[in-house]
Amino acid sequence: METLLPGITARRVPTDRLTVTVLEATGRTGPPVLFVHGNVSSSLFWQPTMLALPAGFRALAVDLRGFGDTDPEPVHATRGLRDYADDVAATIEALGLDGVHLVGWSMGGGVVLQYLADRPGDHRAASLTLVDPVSPFGFGGTRGPEGTLCDPSGAGSGGGTGNPGFIARLAAGDRSGDDPLSPRNVLLAHYVKPPFVPEHLDIYVESMLSTRLGDDHYPGDSRMVEAWPSIAPGDRGVLNTMAPTHFRIEDLSGVSPKPPILWLRGADDVIVSDTSLYDLAYLGSLAVIPGWPGAGRWPPQPMLAQTRTVLDGYAAAGGRYQEMVIADSGHGPHLDQPEKFMAALGEHLNEA
């Protein structure tokens, strides 16, 4: 099927790391806005947002490695999200972008934070927008606003936490709505707030199915440990890049200049949340996963408080951020509340 909307073009861009696929809204000029997608998705999810971007901005979106049509280079998870962040940096360089507004969704939010943290004095970011971003202390296996490990192994996070049924449906190329764990049904239940159905649902399903699978990609490898829930991160693949033993951004105070940050999140997000349906500790508290050690030892991860802790530190060091909650929205407010999302993003871009 045709996956590009009218007004969007795609091209392959060689960089010094790999060849990436970049989408662009045709005929747009001005300061660049580079959209970075999340896990089990691709740049295709950004197309309506790119077309709705206010006049005077150039809209671009990149496929991360192993997603969409970018080269499926292996993901070295011990670097955290740096493989992706370095690829984004190489893309910015190859396109000759400067003063770029970075918009990262979910895992992509962590990618743009990693980009900023690793280039405190020589980044090219004019602003950051974090859309339901992964906690700066990773996904799973931590407690408290400072992201303390529940176990030194990082148990409860990483490649072994992926749902086998969902992975099987991805591998089968399931485009139907017959299985609760099909990409279509997962999108409708978790990416957006039910009962919303996106206009371009079929394109988004194709985007999800572009995810490369395996130990080097999604979900990644894992290892067994004694600590609950017996699963700990491996060293390869997507979910391990966000394991708290590999990914941690706790201090942005040294960034200079400090671009303004907008943190946008859906009020009803069930993926990045203090009660995330993807957090094994929260599922343990619901008795979905047996043997949960209890809230004293292994509470659900306070993902929102952790993000707020890091951004408060950024503000205390002279940076500026705004947290905005979008009502009646799930994990993708640009999908289920596009007008509210664009109003907030447009104001942020014009003020940056």
**HEC profile of the chain:** CCCCCCCEEEEEEECCCCEEEEEEECCCCCCEEEEECCCCCCHHHHHHHHHHCCCCCEEEEECCCCCCCCCCCCCEHHHCCHHHHHHHHHHHHHHCCCCEEEEEECHHHHHHHHHHHHCCCCCCEEEEEEECCCCCCCCCCEECCCCEECCCCCCCCCHHHCCHHHHHHHHCCCCCCCCCCCHHHHHHHHHCCCCCCCCCHHHHHHHHHCCCEECCCEECCEEECCCCCCEEECCECHHHHCCCCCCCCCCCCCCCCCCCEEEEEECCCCCCCCCCCCCHHHHHHCCCCCCCCCCCCCCCCCHHHHHHHHHHHHHHCCCCEEEEEECCCCCCHHHHCHHHHHHHHHHHHHHC
Residue 151: the pLDDT is 98
* pLDDT per residue as tens digits for the range 251-275: 999 999 999 999 999 999 999 999 9
Tell whether 2 is covered by a domain. Answer: no
* pLDDT per residue as tens digits for the range 53-78: 999 999 999 999 999 999 999 999 99
Tell whether 224 is covered by a domain. Answer: yes
Residue 14: the pLDDT is 98
Chain mean pLDDT for the chain: 98
- Residue 95: domain span: 8-351
CATH of the domain at 252: 3.40.50.1820
Tell whether 1 is covered by a domain. Answer: no
* pLDDT per residue as tens digits for the range 133-142: 999 999 999 9
Residue 175: the pLDDT is 98
Q: What percent of the chain has pLDDT over 90?
A: 100
Tell whether 203 is covered by a domain. Answer: yes
Residue 214: the pLDDT is 98
Q: What is the mean pLDDT of residues 44-61?
A: 98
Residue 5: the pLDDT is 98
Tell whether 271 is covered by a domain. Answer: yes
Q: How confident is the model at residue 322 (pLDDT cuts 50, 70, 90)?
A: very high
Tell whether 55 is covered by a domain. Answer: yes
pTM of the model: 0.98
Tell whether 3 is covered by a domain. Answer: no
Indicate the number of domains in the chain: 1
* pLDDT per residue as tens digits for the range 25-37: 999 999 999 999 9
